[in-house]
Structure 1
Amino acid sequence: MNNSQIHNDYKQQIADYFNRRTNYDQEGDFHPLVAHHLIQCADIQPGQHILDIATGTGLVAIEAAQIVGNSGSVVGVDLSEGMLRRSHSKIAAAGLTNIELKQADIETIQLPDNSFDRIFCCCGIPYISNIPHNLRRWYGFLKPGGIIALTGLAETASIFSNLLIKIATNYGLELPSWSEVTGTQKKCKNLLQTAGFEQIQITDEQFGHYLSLESAQNLWEMFINNPLTHINFVQHFNCEQLNAAQAQYFSHLETLVTKQGIWNDLTLYYMVGHKPIDR
């Protein structure tokens, strides 16, 4: 299998995965809260033009559209047809006419340079390859003086997926990790600086919680079906190896149990950068 085919397979897995997760915005308050906070970070004004990357079910796009009003506009881009179908339904229910949705790959889509006042990417960074390259592309889409607002996970976030990454190394496999690009505030700042952004602000919010051992064990299925894990982990294993990896995962979990349960850190970074006016 060549690199191009692997890349295409991965993108298809992402689309299929999120086609099955169209109710994620109803799974507790996490996603709505993060979307709302990210919007607050970007100081949207009426009449502005917004690009929402990995728009999903439109949490950011809809709230942004309500702020910019009919004199402004929002473009939402996502790979998943199922996500966009739900987003269309929510947009219609809200009576909004200033949102355009595009089913496309944000890594290859062609958009006019200097055309957006704000660009958002909420919870989508882990699924986008070569983040530095794509940030430079998105930098071009922004008007001078425009603002980009992204979220990223800290290196301490999700002890369970980090545990899976460690197990993979025992088999000579390297799973992609968000910690490489957004693992610390310093890495987040460097990421935006390298792309050309200035007046960078990085803030964090903790969404961590305790899980029972049983709940943590049940996460195994979610992880191995996640495209980030599946194409780099599951497809390299036979049934016996996968069962052995699962046993290691369960064994490690038992060492993490406390009276409150197993702590799952979920530190989220809000990354905001400005495109200089004189460039």
Structure 2
Amino acid sequence: MNPTPQQAVAAVFDRVADGYDKESLRLFPFCADRLLNHLRPAPGSRICDVGAGTGVVTVAVAQEVGPEGRVHAVDMAERMLDRCQHHARLLGLNNVDLHAMDGQKLEFKSDYFDAVVSSFVIQFLPDMAAALKSWMRVTRRGGRVLFTAFGEEAFQPLIDRFKKDLLSHGGRLPEGGSITNQKRIDSAEKCRALLMEVGLDAVSVAEEQIGYHLATTEDWWELVTNSGFRALLDTLPEDAYEAFRAEHLAAIGELRGEDGIWLNIPALIAWGTKP
């Protein structure tokens, strides 16, 4: 039986889990800090983190809500949840629960959480509106639903070069899926429209630049091999891999400036309140 699209995504993230916290991927903790600034959970709050990954948002929120609060970390990639648990234990956090669960169909009772958050995950869910409605259902009245997404120019021009080189060496770009969904939420206006479509009130979107310079082309390679981009990389024919790597990194090296290779990451933090 063929895996569902979400199971296929989970398999990719299981594969990259051990490298997901590498320095070149520091965009995720950077964005977690910005997200927390907008969430501002009260001590004792119950929060659900959908697509928790290795736990950068989970552990940050768990520290804020304190021992009387609770964070429920949801992910279909169980290896990612193992890393999340590891990080929670390192920080001595006892207020984190882990759930291997479909983020589009949360299995919690209605009106349970003070907030549901999700960082750079919603684009991987086949029906983003259905996912948001599921998140709303488990959120109490007056609670908030919050997600982050990449802006239109995220990873440019590096990612366009990546796709061009990938195709020239026999790789493939998937039809639909996360790429199409990402384009539906790559601006503040599009994020607002989606949140309003599902019935959230007091909708707002913050635009944050969380980019940084990569020191070497190997840092870029580390990023693409240990993130969701791995799914594209894995479409290469096995005998084309090394040639692709050499040509692509040579092209990326030409983008290097005095401070390194700029990784442009405009991030969108969008939220609304359940009426």
**Shared topology, TM-score over 0.5?**
yes
2:193 pairs with one of 190, 193, 206: 190
Does residue 45 (structure 1) correspond to residue 55 (structure 2)? The answer is no
Q: Is the 8 A contact 1:197 1:275 kept in 2?
A: yes
> Structure 1 residues 208, 37: closer, same or farther in 2, change over 3 A?
closer
| Cα deviation 1:82-141 (Å, max 9, x = unaligned) | 433343344345444332222333234422122111111123345444333312221222
Q: Residue in 1 aligned with 2:11? A: 12
Residue aligned with 2:267, SS: strand
Deviation at 1:259, TM superposition (A): 4.7
Deviation at 1:256, TM superposition (A): 3.5
Partner letter of residue 191 of structure 2? Answer: C
> Structure 1 residues 129, 252: closer, same or farther in 2, change over 3 A?
farther
Identity of aligned residues (%): 23
Equivalent residue runs for 1:22-33 within 5 Å: 23-24=21-22, 30-33=27-30
Deviation at 1:219, TM superposition (A): 2.8
| Cα deviation 1:193-216 (Å, max 9, x = unaligned) | 22222211111221223445xx23
Deviation at 1:164, TM superposition (A): 2.4
Residue aligned with 1:117, SS: strand
Equivalent residue runs for 1:55-70 within 5 Å: 55-70=52-67
Structure 2 unaligned regions, length at least 5: none
Partner Cα separation in structure 2 for residue 40 and residue 191 of structure 1: 22
Structure 1 unaligned regions, length at least 5: none
TM-score when scaled to structure 1? 0.78
Residue aligned with 1:148, SS: strand
Partner letter of residue 159 of structure 2? Answer: S
1:141 pairs with one of 138, 141, 149: 138
> Structure 1 residues 31, 256: closer, same or farther in 2, change over 3 A?
closer
> Structure 1 residues 168, 46: closer, same or farther in 2, change over 3 A?
same
Residue aligned with 2:184, SS: helix
Q: Residue in 2 aligned with 1:164? A: 162
Q: Residue in 2 aligned with 1:155? A: 152
Equivalent residue runs for 1:226-245 within 5 Å: 226-230=227-231, 234-235=234-235, 237-239=236-238, 242=241, 245=244
Q: Is the 8 A contact 1:41 1:149 kept in 2?
A: no
Q: Is the 8 A contact 1:234 1:242 kept in 2?
A: no
Residue aligned with 2:131, SS: helix
Aligned-CA RMSD value: 3.3
> Structure 1 residues 70, 227: closer, same or farther in 2, change over 3 A?
closer
> Structure 1 residues 266, 85: closer, same or farther in 2, change over 3 A?
same
Residue aligned with 2:154, SS: coil
Deviation at 1:63, TM superposition (A): 3.3
Equivalent residue runs for 1:115-130 within 5 Å: 115-130=112-127
Partner Cα separation in structure 1 for residue 66 and residue 271 of structure 2: 23
Residue aligned with 2:271, SS: strand
> Structure 1 residues 210, 33: closer, same or farther in 2, change over 3 A?
closer
> Structure 1 residues 218, 187: closer, same or farther in 2, change over 3 A?
same
Deviation at 1:34, TM superposition (A): 2.2
Partner Cα separation in structure 2 for residue 13 and residue 127 of structure 1: 12
Partner letter of residue 265 of structure 2? Answer: L
Deviation at 1:180, TM superposition (A): 0.8
Partner letter of residue 217 of structure 2? Answer: A
> Structure 1 residues 12, 259: closer, same or farther in 2, change over 3 A?
closer
Residue aligned with 1:182, SS: coil
Aligned residues: 269
> Structure 1 residues 262, 36: closer, same or farther in 2, change over 3 A?
closer
Partner Cα separation in structure 2 for residue 179 and residue 38 of structure 1: 19
TM-score when scaled to structure 2? 0.79
1:208 pairs with one of 211, 221, 227: 211
Partner letter of residue 143 of structure 1? Answer: R
